[in-house]
């Protein structure tokens, strides 16, 4: 028990009490301000003229100033008087001094260096209360300079035998705070033995504070702290088995629950004890903890909460150790009980922990099979977080024996599921159907049912995969064609089903054409009846299907050519081009048509593997440095079913930001997407000679995303009308150069934005807070003047441009400048554009450019230690605030280059020492201009697999718009 403080003054400050009463009783705000102004003037006069002011008066006046400051009035004096109180030998005066500096100062305040000596003197004093006041102030306002100067002294206070428990507790928490603010501040090689020796302290309050510090240090780097393991185990034994603990640390009949939780968590940073005795004692401790679980049924709410906290931490440790079959069996039974209780929080934790338990091994997965019906029932819970965790658990429980039952239940649940969970549900069903498919006919049925039930949430990746599997397996081609044909007869077909039907019937419709119910003409009529309601991209695909029909069924030549003629003047350039080319192609000789419209070959077998272990976008977020049975793993070579349809549509503008000319330079598509894209492409330049056409259709050129006439509609490419570059023909080198310049200026502050033989556009930029300034340079490279020179700027939502006027003529070999100021008010998904118009002696010229004003230009640094990072990381989960995507860099993975791009180019702070894997990057940044007026924190984790040359990026922010924009930025510049 702590002794009373004899230094506390017994007298009260009557003047302060009267002043507070006057302000509270003021009849109006004006009267209050008059009273405050009068009192401030009086205090200022006393401080200035009264050189012999005593400690009591100074303390009273400083308290009045603090009260006025807390009411919102600005103070421009009194700080030094507060600092003067720190040097007093009276506790009452020193206490007010520390309270005042904690309120008036911050760690960057210019006066902070002046009081470091006061901190030092109080730390060196033999008075426990003075030391405690100084340590509390250091925790509140101590910055890097304070930490560097006073850290050795604070460490000595912690490990000194003469320090009281009160001082040791505050010293441990002060070191913890300084280490969080300055990562790497504590190094175990310097004083680990002395710090570990503090675990022998008999005061449980000291142990509680010390374990918070040890957990933080072990989370950064567990190497060096192994010597603490035996002492931690002995402490657990002392509490759980021997029942040796102070009575005041019993909380609702649970012995030291917070200390037990910290001790158990500390052990999860290390492998199982090497000595058999230590492992045996630990098993006894865990069994003793489990033996208390029955008492949770009849206890009070507080008793249940404290006991369950210890039980869940013990379960996590058992999952981490994975060594004792008896404990694992007990864990399974206990988790089964947790998922059936009424308390929502306990069920949530039970389902999340059981997901980790199921992923531990085949044995643990079998143990929890008996709870499958309970988990299925949880899908109908009123709380969406419970439904998400139940979905994750079902995904982990599924195997070949239970797959059909689970998938059937999930499909049934999909019909009534909330829109917030359908996205994730569709992804998981698609993965399970492919991973455990006993035959591909069942897989095709599942995907078609998915499309019918929740087509808006079925991404292109999923139907690409169906197309790939059907193409590669001849035994299901007829079945797939028949099934799709039947599904298309419904009055209301989802557009994704029409895409699948267009592809499969175009390739394999001849396999069912002998049936009168599915004759070629009926197939054509059913598809064409859906044509009018489709988007331009789907219409373009159907035109390719019609061209395939002509090749397979000559009797359809006339109706298909009528369709091509109707669209030969269509407003959409892509559809118009295809219609014209297919019309010419079907009018030429049959041999040429068969050559061009031949059946697409099977996809490469090496790319047939599907990633069957996706990480749930809303999975239980845990510190990846602590094993809980399902740690972070190196990303697999492929990641299927990643991007839902709605997300793709909302991201079109974001992709335009990085790929303004639709070249698809964000990354090469997967092989499956390439071949489906080939199916959609129009055949270029039909009027050429047959030899030229055959040359143009060589496999090398067809597979290239930049090949003649290739139209990549994979998720990495923007949808909608194509630009002149990708609507046919070879890529314009000038446009490619513009794109490269734009991407380079997204990372740099100056450079050339556009250049041809007539005009050069240069750019310099600078950013300060929410304001920015561009200086555009227009240089005339030709031998004649550019007249009627006019530049139009188009602002976007979130960024307002204010350009200055410029001269209308640029003389030969001359240059003019145009300053442009702009301000950022919120998140934005598009970049501002500029349209340049001028006249040359031959013709008018118009140039459209995008300005490299992107959200990363406004990022502020956000430095976090590992504890703060993962604490904040856990607070954000679930789409659309979280997004994860796998990409394949075009060059070998280079972590140093990635780090340089993030820190130097995108203004993102790379956090060192957070992830122990050297192949991973953890980063953070702050976007100060959220739409709600609050800054938005962004957290990033990039995992890489250098051997497979694959990367996975996970982004969590407080804004869905920022999450998607940041993902597009990272993939574009790291790929």
Cβ count near 322 (within 10 Å): 17
Question: Which residue, chain included where needed, has tokens 């972070």?
Answer: 632
Cα–Cα dist 936/930, whole Å = 6
Judge contact between 766 and 748, C-beta under 8 A.
no
Q: DSSP letter string over 663-681?
A: --TT-PPPHHHHHHHHHHP
Sequence-ordered list of residues with C-beta below 8 angstroms from that of 818, at least 6 positions apart, any chain: 775, 776, 778, 791, 803, 804, 806
H runs (alpha helix) in 615-651: 645-650
Cβ count near 71 (within 10 Å): 10
Given CA atoms 324, 329, 334, 336 in this order, what sign does their dihedral have?
positive
Cα–Cα dist 341/705, whole Å = 55
Instruction: With H, G, I as helix, E, B as strand and everything else as coil, classify residue 944.
Output: strand
Instruction: With H, G, I as helix, E, B as strand and everything else as coil, classify residue 543.
Output: helix
Angle of the 79-86 helix axis to the 116-124 helix axis, nearest 10:
20
Name the helix (H) or strand (E) containing 765. Answer: strand 759-768
Sequence-ordered list of residues with C-beta below 8 angstroms from that of 155, at least 6 positions apart, any chain: 171, 175, 191
- Tell me if 64 is assigned to a ligand binding site: yes
The DSSP bridge partners found for residue 786 are 810
Burial status of residue 611 (CB atoms within 10 A of its CB: 0-12, 13-18, 19 or more): middle
Q: DSSP letter string over 772-835?
A: EEEEEEEEE-SSS-BEEEEEEEE-BTTEEEEEPP--S-B-TT-EEEEEEEEEE-S--SS--EEE
Half-sphere exposure of 96 (CA within 13 A, CB side): 28
State how far the alpha carbon of 970 is from the alpha carbons of 27, 756, 885, in Å.
58, 29, 11
Judge contact between 272 and 321, C-beta under 8 A.
yes
Degrees, nearest 5: CA angle 79-85-90: 165
Sequence-ordered list of residues with C-beta below 8 angstroms from that of 284, at least 6 positions apart, any chain: 237, 241
Judge contact between 777 and 828, C-beta under 8 A.
no
Half-sphere exposure of 921 (CA within 13 A, CB side): 26
- Tell me if 14 is assigned to a ligand binding site: yes
- Tell me if 251 is assigned to a ligand binding site: no
DSSP 8-class letter at 903: I
Instruction: With H, G, I as helix, E, B as strand and everything else as coil, classify residue 342.
Output: coil
Given CA atoms 870, 215, 620, 973 in this order, what sign does their dihedral have?
positive
Degrees, nearest 5: CA angle 755-760-765: 105
Judge contact between 206 and 168, C-beta under 8 A.
yes
Question: Which residue, chain included where needed, has tokens 């820190």?
Answer: 903
Judge contact between 898 and 942, C-beta under 8 A.
yes
Cα–Cα dist 276/664, whole Å = 59
- Tell me if 186 is assigned to a ligand binding site: no
Cβ count near 877 (within 10 Å): 17
Cα–Cα dist 392/331, whole Å = 19
- Tell me if 824 is assigned to a ligand binding site: no
% helix, strand, coil for the chain, step of 5 = 55, 10, 35
Cα–Cα dist 864/912, whole Å = 9
Cα–Cα dist 335/354, whole Å = 6
- Tell me if 61 is assigned to a ligand binding site: yes
Question: Which residue, chain included where needed, has tokens 């940073």?
Answer: 269
Binding-site residue set: 14-15, 56, 60-64
């Amino acid at each position: 028990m702590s002794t009373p403080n004899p230094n506390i003054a017994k007298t009260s400050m009557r003047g302060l009490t009267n002043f507070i009463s006057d302000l509270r009783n003021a009849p109006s705000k004006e009267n209050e301000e008059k009273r405050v102004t009068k009192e401030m003037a009086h205090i200022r006069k006393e401080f200035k003229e009264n050189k012999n002011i005593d400690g009591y008066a100074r303390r009273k006046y400083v308290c009045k100033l603090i009260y006025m400051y807390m009411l919102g009035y600005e103070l421009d004096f009194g700080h030094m008087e507060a600092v003067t109180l720190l040097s007093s030998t009276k506790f009452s005066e020193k206490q007010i001094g520390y309270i005042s500096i904690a309120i008036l100062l911050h760690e960057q305040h210019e006066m902070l260096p002046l009081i470091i000596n006061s901190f030092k003197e109080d730390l060196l004093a033999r008075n426990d209360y003075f030391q405690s006041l100084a340590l509390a102030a250091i925790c509140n306002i101590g910055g890097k300079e304070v930490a560097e100067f006073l850290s050795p002294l604070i460490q000595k206070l912690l490990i000194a035998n003469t320090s009281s428990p009160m001082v040791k507790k505050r010293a441990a928490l002060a070191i913890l705070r300084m280490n969080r603010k300055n990562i790497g501040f504590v190094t175990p090689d310097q004083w680990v033995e002395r710090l570990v020796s503090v675990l022998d302290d008999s005061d449980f309050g000291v142990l509680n504070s010390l374990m918070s510090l040890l957990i933080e240090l072990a989370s950064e780097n567990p190497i060096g702290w192994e010597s603490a393991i035996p002492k931690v185990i002995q402490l657990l034994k002392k509490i759980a088995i021997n029942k040796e603990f102070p009575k005041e640390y019993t909380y609702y009949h649970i012995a030291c629950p917070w200390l037990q939780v910290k001790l158990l968590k500390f052990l999860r940073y290390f492998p199982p004890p090497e000595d058999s005795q230590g492992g045996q004692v630990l098993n006894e401790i865990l069994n003793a903890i489990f033996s208390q679980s029955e008492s949770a049924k009849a206890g009070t709410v507080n008793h249940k909460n404290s006991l369950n906290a210890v039980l869940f931490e013990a379960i996590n440790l058992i999952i981490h150790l994975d060594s004792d079959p008896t404990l694992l069996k007990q864990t399974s039974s206990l988790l089964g009980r947790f998922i059936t209780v009424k308390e929502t929080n306990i069920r949530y934790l039970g389902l999340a922990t059981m997901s980790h338990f199921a992923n531990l091994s085949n044995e643990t997965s079998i143990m929890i099979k008996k709870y499958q019906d309970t988990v299925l029932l949880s899908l109908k819970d009123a709380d969406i977080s419970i439904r998400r965790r139940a979905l994750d658990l079902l995904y982990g429980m599924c195997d070949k024996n239970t797959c059909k039952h689970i998938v059937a239940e999930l499909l049934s649940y999909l019909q009534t599921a909330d829109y917030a969970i359908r996205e994730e549900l569709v992804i998981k069903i698609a993965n399970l159907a492919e991973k455990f498919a006993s035959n591909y006919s069942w897989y095709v049925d599942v995907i078609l049912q998915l499309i019918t039930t929740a087509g808006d949430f079925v991404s292109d990746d999923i139907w690409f995969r169906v197309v790939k599997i059907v193409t590669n397996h001849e035994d299901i081609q007829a079945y797939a064609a028949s099934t799709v044909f039947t599904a298309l007869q419904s009055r209301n077909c989802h557009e994704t089903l029409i895409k699948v039907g267009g592809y499969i019937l175009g390739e394999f419709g001849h396999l069912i054409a002998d049936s009168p119910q599915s004759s070629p003409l009926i197939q054509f009529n059913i598809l064409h009846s859906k044509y009018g309601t489709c988007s331009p991209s789907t219409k373009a695909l159907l035109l390719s299907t019609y061209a395939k029909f002509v090749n397979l069924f000559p009797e359809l030549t006339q109706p298909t050519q009528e369709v091509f003629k109707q669209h030969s003047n269509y407003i959409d350039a892509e559809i118009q081009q295809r219609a014209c080319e297919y019309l010419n192609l079907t009018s030429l000789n049959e041999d040429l048509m068969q050559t061009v419209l031949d059946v697409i070959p099977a996809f490469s077998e090496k790319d047939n593997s599907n990633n069957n272990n996706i990480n749930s976008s809303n999975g239980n977020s845990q510190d990846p440095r602590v094993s809980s049975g399902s740690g972070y793993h190196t990303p697999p070579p492929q990641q299927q079913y990643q991007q839902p349809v709605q997300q793709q549509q909302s991201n079109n503008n974001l992709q335009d930001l990085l790929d303004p000319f639709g070249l698809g330079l964000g990354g090469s598509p997967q092989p499956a997407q390439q071949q489906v894209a080939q199916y959609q492409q129009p055949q270029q330049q039909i009027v050429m000679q047959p030899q030229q056409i055959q040359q143009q259709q060589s496999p090398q050129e067809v597979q290239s995303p930049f090949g003649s006439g290739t139209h990549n509609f994979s998720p990495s490419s923007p949808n909608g009308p194509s630009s002149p570059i990708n609507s046919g023909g070879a890529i314009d080198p000038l446009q490619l150069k513009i794109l490269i310049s734009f991407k380079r200026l997204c990372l740099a502050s100056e450079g050339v934005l556009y250049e041809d033989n007539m005009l050069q556009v240069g750019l310099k930029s600078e950013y300060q807070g929410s304001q920015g300034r561009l200086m555009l340079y227009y240089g005339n490279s030709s031998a004649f003047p550019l007249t009627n020179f006019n530049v139009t700027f188009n602002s976007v939502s979130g960024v307002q441009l204010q350009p200055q006027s410029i001269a209308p003529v640029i003389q030969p070999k001359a240059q003019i400048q145009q300053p442009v100021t702009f301000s950022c008010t919120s998140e934005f998904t598009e970049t501002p554009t500029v349209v340049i118009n001028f006249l040359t002696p031959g013709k008018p010229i118009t140039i459209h450019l995008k300005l490299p004003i992107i959200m990363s230009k406004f990022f502020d640094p956000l430095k976090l230690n590992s504890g703060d990072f993962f604490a904040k990381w856990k607070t954000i989960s679930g789409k659309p605030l979280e997004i994860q995507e796998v990409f394949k860099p075009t060059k070998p993975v280079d972590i140093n280059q990635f780090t340089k791009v993030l820190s130097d180019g995108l203004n993102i702070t790379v956090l060192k020492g957070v992830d122990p894997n050297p192949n991973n990057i953890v980063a953070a940044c702050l976007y100060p201009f959220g739409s709600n007026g609050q800054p938005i924190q962004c957290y990033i984790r990039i995992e890489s697999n250098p051997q497979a040359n694959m990367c996975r990026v996970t982004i969590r922010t407080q804004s869905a718009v920022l999450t998607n924009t940041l993902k597009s930025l990272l993939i574009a510049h790291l790929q």
